Amino acid sequence: MKLTGTQKNNLWQSTKLGITALLLSFVINLFFKQHYIIVETSILGFTIGLLTGLFEYFIAQVKLRKQRFLVAVIYRSVVYSLIILFSFTMLATIKLSIVHQCTFVEAIGEKNIVGYSIESGLYLLLLFLVLMSFFINILVQISQLFGPGELLNYVIGRYNKPVPEQRIFLFMDLDSSTSIAEKLGTEKYSSYLKDFFSDLTEPLIKTQGQVFQYVGDEAVVVWKLKEGLKNNNAINFIFFVKECINKRRDYYLSEYGIVPEFKAGMHMGETLITEVGDIKKEIVYHGELLNATSRIRSESKKRNQLLLISELLLNSISPKNGFHFKDLGCTKLRGKDQMIKLFSVEPIEDISLKLC
């Protein structure tokens, strides 16, 4: 079976996690001067890291995406504990079978794995890893509320005071939301929005984007300049979303009787990033960039264009092959004095090949 690009990337990420765990185990052993079990713990670290990565990238990202906080924490903790126990059992079995020149069955039974773990001191590491898995999972779930990397920024206080940074913003919202909401009813429409926003996940991961906020039927996505321009990630995102929706066309028709359609506007520039709030803290973006991007999105709906981008963003894109950019001329955005040149964007190659 041929692996897709996404599956290859997930496999590589899992391997990197295994290597990281191996190096971490090695360093911890040196720090605590446990040289006599350094080989065992390094192998154990790699195995646990690799299996955990495979679980996260191939199973958890799909199965746990919509689960409740507590369910996801318990599920992950149980799986992590099983991975740790399995890895430890396999390591101990191989070790005992080599030392005592016996079969795996004999190593598990006669040579007593429990006794080996106590004598070697590995049981302390085992207990530590099981406990840590629970706390790590809580942090993982909390991190998802903030977005990738934002929990760390909050902890270290990076944006405690306003910091100017370059960003690419995309505002997108669904078409005909009012009429669809009236047709589906409140509860069904809420489920419709949840499904649509959930379908943004794979394109976000693929393009290294991050959701700034959801407002009603609107999603605001942001990229750091380097990540957004790399491989035209920011431009690709909207077409990846369209491809994901097309793949789920039958589901949407059977569940809601309609396939989501949307419009988007994209712009780049400087924005101020800062922490706000006392009772509820949040990292937010301030500045003219957001207002202008929102107006470009409104213009895309007015002109019935899937995606409109600013001239500033177009000039920063390299290479431009793979897309057709149509000059729509200068436009005075609502509430703005300055004119801005806008361009519509259409892919000229099969976008699904990039998404795989």
Which whole-number Å values give the CA distances from 334 to 107, 293, 331, in the listed order?
76, 11, 9
Instruction: Between 205 and 157, name the one with better pLDDT.
Output: 205
- The answer on pLDDT for 116 being more than 80 is no
In contact, 236 and 354? CB cutoff 8 Å: yes
Strands 218-224 and 210-215: antiparallel
Q: Name the pairing type of β-strands 323-332 and 282-286.
A: unpaired
Superfamily of structural domain 150-355: Nucleotide cyclase, GGDEF domain (3.30.70.1230)
The answer to whether the beta carbons of residues 314 and 343 sit under 8 Å apart is yes
Return the pLDDT at 89: 79
The percentage of the chain sitting over the pLDDT mark of 70, rounded to a whole number, equals 76
pLDDT of 356 over the 60 cut: no
pLDDT at 146 over 90: no
pLDDT, tens digit, 9 for 90 and up, residues 26-40: 777 776 666 656 777
Write down the mean pLDDT value for the chain.
81
pLDDT computed for residue 125 by the predictor: 65
Where residue 141 falls among pLDDT bands split at 50, 70, 90? low
pLDDT digits (tens, 9 = 90+) for 158-198: 777 888 999 999 999 999 888 999 999 999 999 999 999 98
Q: List CB contacts of 289: < 8 A, sequence separation 6 or more.
A: 167, 169, 267, 268, 269, 270, 271
Dist. CA 229–CA 272, nearest whole Å: 20
Sequence ranges of the domains in the chain = 5-146, 150-355
**329 alpha-carbon distance from chain centroid:** 36
Q: What are phi and psi of 273, to 5 degrees?
A: -110, 130
Q: What is the pLDDT of residue 226?
A: 92
Give the model's confidence band at 119: pLDDT under 50 very low, under 70 low, under 90 confident, else very high: low
- The backbone torsions φ and ψ at residue 176, rounded to the nearest 5 degrees and listed phi first, read 55, 35
- At 101, list the tokens: 């020149």
